[in-house]
Amino acid sequence: MRTRNRLALRTLALGYLAVLLVVPVGFVFYRTFEHGASAAWHAVTTPSATHAFWLTIELVAIAVPLNTIFGVVMAIALVRGRFRGRSIVGPLVDLPLALSPVVIGLALILVWGTKGWFGQWLTDHGLQIIFSFPGLLLATIFVSLPFVVRETVPVLREIGTEQEEAAETLGAGPFQTFWRVTLPAIRWGVAYGVILTTARALGEFGAVSVVSGHLAGSTETLTLQVEDRYEAFDLTGAYAAAAVLALIAIAVLASMTLLRRRRGDVAWASS
């Protein structure tokens, strides 16, 4: 292709990315520090901001390990298992990706809310799920459920069963085979899935917004705080909370890139 065309296409593509992605994200950091670093620091260290931060971390710390264990078990069942209905379980696992976050929030309310299926029973036992921590947790787990499964399944397919069978022939029990043979072989796939799960869990907004009730200092996560502050005309606060989340997102992006390269190396070395 001629150089002139090539340059024109390059300019077009990079211009599009700049206008849509790079300049807006950069500008949020500018807005955050517009009134000085101390104002930004002050905005992210108010009691409600630190509460929102730790609440988000707590949700991630519970949701991610649960979904990781589920993801590995489910991936092994989908690839190695032979059971009835296997062909519909795969699409079911992917379902959270095709759903609007608002619909997910609604679904949780319809089961766990005061007027939901279990509402009466929960009220009788003095339990509250919606508008409190368990509701936020259920929403976070729901939206971040598919990622470990999706990243582990192709790796499991690729490694095949030869080594696992060899280990068993040599007398290894199922547990030993899993820990010594299967898990080391799939670890980069699982790790990539864990990063995607974490990113989604940290950043969820819609589903959490429906089940939260938006109580600052109680059920307000970091993402909800961005909206609440914006709606309350606290722009510096909104930009500061957004900048914290954007920094985390950039860290996630960096680890995604590193892991992809790592995974590439592994594939390259074993071929």
Partner 1 sequence: MFGRPSGGGLARGIAMGYLSLIVLLPLGAVAARSVDGGLAGFWRAVSGREAVAALELTVIVSLVVALVGAFSGTLIAWVLVRDEFPGKRLISALIDLPFALPTIVAGLTLLALYGPRSPLHVDVSFTRVGIAIALLFVTLPFVVRSVQPVLMALDPEVEEAAASLGARSSQVFRRIVLPSISPAILSGAALAFARAVGEFGSIVLISGNRPFRTEVASVFIYGQIQSDNVSGAAAVSIVLLAVSLLILVGIGYLGRRAAKDADEE
Instruction: Kindly state the number of chain residues that form the binding site for partner 1, as judged by CB under 8 A.
Output: 90
Would you list the DSSP string of 178-233?
IIIIIHHHHHHHHHHHHHHHHHHHHH--HHHHHHH---TTTT--HHHHHHHHHHTT
Are 156 and 80 in contact, with CB atoms under 8 Å apart?
yes
User: Per-residue string for binding with partner 1, 170-189, x by CB under 8 A?
Assistant: ---xxx-xx---x-------
What are the tokens at 230?
Answer: 């914006």
102-141 residues in contact with partner 1 (CB under 8 A) are 102-111, 115-117, 138, 141
Report if residue 159 touches partner 1, rule: CB under 8 A: no
What is the rounded CA–CA span in Å between residue 162 and residue 234?
Answer: 60
What are the tokens at 135?
Answer: 């509701």
Report the nearest approach of partner 1 to the CB of residue 41 (Å).
19
Q: Which is nearer to partner 1, 21 or 57 (CB)?
A: 21
What are the tokens at 177?
Answer: 């085979």
239-268 residues in contact with partner 1 (CB under 8 A) are 239, 242, 245-246, 249-250, 252-254, 256-257
Phi, psi of 204 (to 5 degrees): -60, 135
Would you list the DSSP string of 26-70?
HHHHHHHTTT-HHHHHHHHSSHHHHHHHHHHHHHHHHHHHHHHHH
Report the nearest approach of partner 1 to the CB of residue 109 (Å).
7
Report the nearest approach of partner 1 to the CB of residue 128 (Å).
17
Q: Which stretch binds partner 1 (CB under 8 A): 43-51, 185-193, 212-220, 223-231?
A: 223-231
Report if residue 83 touches partner 1, rule: CB under 8 A: yes
Report the nearest approach of partner 1 to the CB of residue 42 (Å).
19
- What single DSSP character describes residue 159? H
Distances (CA, A) of 71 to 152, 187, 190: 8, 12, 8
Q: Which stretch binds partner 1 (CB under 8 A): 43-51, 94-102, 121-129, 150-158?
A: 94-102
User: Per-residue string for binding with partner 1, 13-42, x by CB under 8 A?
Assistant: xx-xx--xxxxxx-xx--x-----------
58-77 residues in contact with partner 1 (CB under 8 A) are 66, 70, 73-74, 76-77
Report if residue 236 touches partner 1, rule: CB under 8 A: no
Q: Which is nearer to partner 1, 12 or 61 (CB)?
A: 12
